[in-house]
């Protein structure tokens, strides 16, 4: 493979239009050649304008096959080259950032020589300008002289350490802050961020990254939390993210749709038609326990004991709770705990990765969505912001069915891990008893109606026979 700076001839053109069959091919003597123009942003790095390969064949069909392979390999080359340039650029920026912070520390620790050190910083900034441009040089100088504070990895880590949130929220916060930090490059400094720039980034999330309103608002919320912490630590003056969130309410005539609880009949259909144990078990456990999908995928064997699901982590204190295991889940629990170690997951089919339980559950939710589309195509997304019914709506099903059967709302809240409302309930009322929680869980059966009728009839017959024998 070799390069050239000369454009290809018109041999591969016919009538002013590129013949698709001969795309990226040209005939040189009796042999075919492959050629492809290198993107402008990579020419300096690769040192040429065109990639040209002599294919060593006069057979057009063989030349086409070789062309297709070379198109893929050159595409991969462009991709990896861009990645290396990007990674190298990030490494350079980190090195400059660390250098600026060292200069800043030297100036702060030696105030007698601060004027001399500022001259040194000025000279260094001129060198940076020649290599990286004026904007990067100005950003470096402002940090080095203490006029601005960068959002460093160390600062992000300090924020994470000082704020007590669950692992999934911490991971989401880190992603949001790092994404915004990349947006600010080459000058990711706190002092730059005013309401106008925050507004630009909020628009960027929608127009460029195409985030949905709820995802957009989650990003803004994480950045707002970070800025509130910066204010407390004296590193920022105001929170520019206040009021930057989007409305998630659908407008009249829009395609927005709101989720609703699965009906009892629909849940039975979902269980009956499930193609494998993973889907069937997860649907049944969620519908009969009210667990969040992240809670379900975080459960380990040691957390399932004494007839209870022990939820040990959550977004609020109310999330940490013990949920009675429904009698209809006995077979599933025995099958999924027998022969396992205490640290093994109850739902083990989807492996844990670097993002933890949040990621595992997200993979499953997508799988459930594909299954739902086959069984209930009327609930597909179909241009809406989200599907009409999702896996989380099994939790809504649990709540809805218990309230219909007269279970007190305070007991239902305790069962699903919701905060109680009102000062009296939050501060003075005790949590529901285990008997109340068990009554709440057992209030609904997922067995088919004919099965329940037969069981009740058998139970009634047994009671009648027992009373007759007793009278005799």
Q: Is 252 helix (H, G, I), strand (E, B) or coil?
A: coil
- pLDDT surpassing 50 at residue 11: no
Name the nearest CA neighbour of 358 among 298, 291, 280. Answer: 298
Cα–Cα distances in angstroms (integers) from residue 56 to residues 24, 72, 115, in the given order: 15, 19, 68
Name the nearest CA neighbour of 96 among 73, 70, 66, 129. Answer: 129
Q: What is the pLDDT of residue 84?
A: 63
Q: Which two tokens stand for residue 393?
A: 């709506």
In this prediction the pTM is 0.54
Contact between 416 and 406 under an 8 Å Cβ cutoff? The reply is: no
List, in sequence order, every beta strand (DSSP E) within 116-248.
Answer: none
Name the nearest CA neighbour of 82 among 119, 126, 41, 120. Answer: 41
Torsion, CA 459, CA 463, CA 468, CA 472, rounded to 10: 130
Mean pLDDT of 309-313: 90
- pLDDT surpassing 60 at residue 463: no
CB burial class (10 A; 0-12, 13-18, 19+) of residue 244?
buried
pLDDT digits over 216-244, tens only? 999 999 999 999 999 998 888 899 999 99
pLDDT digits over 340-369, tens only? 999 999 999 886 554 444 478 888 998 999
**Which stretch of 77-86, 322-331, 435-444 has the lowest confidence by average pLDDT?**
77-86
Mean pLDDT of 381-410: 85
Cα–Cα distances in angstroms (integers) from residue 385 to residues 82, 254, 257, 364, 367, in the given order: 33, 10, 7, 20, 18
Which residue stretches of 191-289 are H helix? 195-207, 213-232, 264-273, 277-289
Q: What is the pLDDT of residue 442?
A: 96
Q: How far apart are CA 111 and CA 433, in angstroms?
A: 65
Angle between helices 114-132 and 134-144 (to 10 degrees): 160
Q: Is 169 helix (H, G, I), strand (E, B) or coil?
A: helix
Averaged confidence pLDDT in the chain: 81
Q: How far apart are CA 271 and CA 268, in angstroms?
A: 5
- pLDDT surpassing 70 at residue 24: yes
């Amino acid at each position: 493979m070799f390069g050239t700076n000369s454009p290809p001839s018109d041999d591969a053109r016919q009538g002013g239009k590129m013949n698709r069959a001969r795309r990226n091919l040209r005939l040189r003597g009796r042999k075919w050649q492959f050629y492809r123009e290198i993107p402008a942003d990579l020419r300096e790095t690769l040192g040429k304008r065109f990639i040209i390969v002599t294919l060593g064949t006069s057979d057009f069909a063989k030349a086409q096959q070789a062309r297709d392979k070379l198109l893929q390999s050159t595409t991969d080359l462009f991709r990896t080259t861009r990645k290396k340039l990007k990674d190298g650029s990030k490494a350079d920026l980190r090195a400059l950032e660390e250098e600026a912070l060292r200069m800043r520390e030297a100036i702060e620790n030696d105030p007698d020589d601060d004027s001399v050190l500022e001259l040194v910083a000025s000279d260094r900034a001129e060198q940076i300008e020649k290599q990286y441009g004026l904007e990067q040089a100005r950003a470096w100088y402002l940090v080095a002289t203490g006029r601005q504070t960068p959002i460093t990895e160390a600062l992000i880590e300090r924020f994470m350490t000082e704020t007590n949130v669950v692992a999934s929220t911490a991971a989401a916060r880190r992603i949001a802050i790092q994404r915004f930090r990349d947006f600010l490059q080459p000058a990711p400094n706190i002092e730059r961020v005013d309401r106008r720039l925050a507004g630009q980034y909020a628009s960027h999330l929608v127009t460029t990254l195409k985030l949905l309103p709820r995802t957009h608002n989650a990003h803004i919320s994480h950045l707002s939390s970070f800025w509130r912490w910066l204010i407390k630590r004296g590193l920022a003056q105001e929170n520019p993210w206040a009021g930057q969130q989007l409305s998630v309410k659908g407008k009249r005539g829009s395609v927005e749709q709101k989720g609703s609880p699965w009906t009892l009949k629909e849940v039975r259909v979902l269980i009956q038609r499930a193609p494998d144990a993973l889907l069937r078990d997860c649907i049944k456990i969620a519908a009969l326990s009210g667990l969040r999908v992240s809670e379900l995928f975080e459960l380990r064997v040691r957390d399932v004991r004494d007839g209870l699901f022990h939820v040990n982590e959550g977004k609020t204190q109310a999330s940490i709770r013990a949920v009675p295991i429904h009698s209809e889940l006995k077979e599933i629990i025995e099958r999924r705990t027998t022969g396992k170690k205490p640290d093994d997951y109850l739902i083990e089919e989807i492996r844990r990765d670097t993002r933890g339980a949040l990621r595992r559950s997200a993979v499953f939710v997508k799988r459930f969505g594909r299954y739902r589309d086959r069984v209930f195509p009327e609930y597909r997304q179909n241009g809406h912001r989200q599907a009409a019914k999702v896996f989380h709506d099994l939790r809504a099903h649990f709540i809805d069915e218990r309230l219909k059967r007269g279970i007190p709302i305070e007991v239902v809240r305790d069962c699903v891990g919701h905060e109680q409302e009102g000062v009296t309930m939050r501060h003075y009322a005790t949590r529901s008893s285990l008997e109340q929680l068990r009554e709440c869980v057992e209030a609904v059966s997922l067995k088919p109606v004919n099965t329940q009728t037969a069981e009740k009839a058998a139970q009634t017959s047994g009671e009648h026979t027992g009373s007759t024998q007793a009278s005799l």
